[in-house]
Amino acid sequence: MWPGHHKHSSVQSSFRPWLPLPRSLPLALFLLLLLGSTAAELSTSFYASSCPGLFSTVKSVVRSAISEEKRLGASILRLFFHDCFVLGCDASVLLDDTPTFRGEKTAKPNNNSLRGFEVIDQIKNAVEKACPGVVSCADILAVASRDSVVILGGPNWDVKLGRRDSGKASFSKANKDIPANPIT
């Protein structure tokens, strides 16, 4: 963990000054806890240092998707809306069904109705290329929704970030909590 730590046993004497370090371990843990608690708050600068290109990366993929089909902008916003209605904005709507897991994709308000998953996949791929393993899908959905609205001529807003993706989903809550489609 510490630079040069692996050399410790072979050149022990030159590393004496490092020896008292373990005593500050409780302090280090305490600072980590503090960091953890501030990270629990959403912030517009959440990825400012870990993924500075996030906003431009998301926007360029959304822009090219919308230039191919305008309606995709509305579809992305609706994805976000349907995600947030079930257990919060945690990207659970993106989870595919498996033999042992039932997600929200086939719930009545979503089945054969939600669109734009492939755009979110494209954005995720682009973001992963720029900053591997950093940005949550829930945050990508939130930023892509804002960008969709702005690109289609709607209002702008600052998107606070720091959401965590959930491994849980709820088929029954998706059926119960998402407002019914007034058209069908």
| Contact mark string toward ligand NAG, 64..103, x via CB under 6 A | ----------------------------------------
Catalytic (active site) residue 5: no
CB of 75 to ligand NAG, least distance (A): 17
Q: How far apart are CA 38 and CA 170, in angstroms?
A: 29
The residue written with tokens 């257990």 in the block is 87
Q: Which residues contact 140 (CB under 8 A, 6 or more apart)?
A: 58, 91, 120, 123, 124, 127
Measured from the CB atom, the residue of 127 and 169 that comes closer to ligand NAG is 169
CB of 111 to ligand NAG, least distance (A): 4
Six token digits for residue 154? 């709607």
CB of 57 to ligand NAG, least distance (A): 33
What is the footprint of ligand NAG within residues 107-126 (CB under 6 A)? Answer: 111-112
Which letter, b or e, does each residue of 159-174 get, where b requires 16 or more Cβ atoms within 10 Å of its Cβ?
Answer: bebbbebbeebbbeeb
* Site residues, ligand NAG (CB under 6 A): 106, 111-112
Residues with catalytic roles? 82
